[in-house]
């Protein structure tokens, strides 16, 4: 059995009487709030259109250039994180070792044409 709760508000009649200026001000406030609300709805609809037009996140390959030799702590950590990240993103992450360079510009990510994401972990090996 559903219960119905009725609220009764008692107010005096003179509280609803407004002067002409107060009435105009209230109407202007309502119009401004309707305009702002409709503007925000329009922006929301436009942003949904932009979101739907975008392609799926990360369709290009991810390559991580490790500036140290194979088997080091940076290499092992990077490979472990790339496996977990590959499972999370649903695509493989390639790890390449470039032990000859100590400068990030010498590693290859900054040179040549490459279509994708390049990451370089820079750390001091222990």
In a domain, residue 6? The reply is no
In a domain, residue 4? The reply is no
Q: What is the 3-state secondary structure (H, E, C) of the chain?
A: CCCCCCCCCCCCHHHCCCCHHHHHHHHHHHHHHHHHHHHHHHHHHHHHHHHHHCCCCCCCCEEEEECCCCCCHHHHHHHHHHHHHHHHHCCCEEEEECCCCCCHHHCCCCCCCCCCEEECCCCCCC
- 35 and 78 share a domain? no
In a domain, residue 13? The reply is no
- 108 and 89 share a domain? yes
This model's pTM is above 0.85: no
In a domain, residue 12? The reply is no
Q: Domain span at residue 24?
A: 20-53
Task: Give, in order, the Cα–Cα distances in Å from 48 to each of 36, 42, 52, 85.
Answer: 19, 10, 6, 28
Give pLDDT, residue 102: 54
Q: How many domains does the chain have?
A: 2
- 34 and 82 share a domain? no
Give pLDDT, residue 125: 55
Give pLDDT, residue 39: 93
d(C-alpha 57, C-alpha 48), whole Å: 16
In a domain, residue 40? The reply is yes
- 31 and 70 share a domain? no
In a domain, residue 24? The reply is yes
d(C-alpha 107, C-alpha 116), whole Å: 16
- 68 and 114 share a domain? yes
Q: For 71-89, write each residue's pLDDT tens digit.
A: 888 888 889 999 988 888 8
- 41 and 90 share a domain? no
- 49 and 86 share a domain? no
Residue stretches of the chain with pLDDT short of 50: 1
């Amino acid at each position: 059995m559903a219960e119905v709760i009725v609220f009764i508000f008692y107010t005096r009649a003179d509280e609803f009487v407004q002067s002409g200026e107060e009435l105009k001000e209230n109407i202007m406030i309502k119009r401004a709030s309707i305009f702002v609300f409709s503007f925000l709805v329009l922006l929301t609809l436009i942003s949904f259109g932009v979101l739907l037009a975008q392609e799926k996140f990360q369709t290009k390959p991810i390559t991580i250039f490790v500036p140290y030799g194979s088997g080091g702590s940076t290499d092992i950590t990077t490979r472990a994180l790339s496996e977990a990240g590959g499972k999370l993103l649903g695509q493989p992450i390639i790890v390449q070792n470039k032990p000859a360079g100590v400068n990030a510009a010498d590693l290859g990510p900054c040179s040549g044409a490459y279509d994708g994401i390049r990451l370089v972990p820079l750390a001091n090996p222990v």
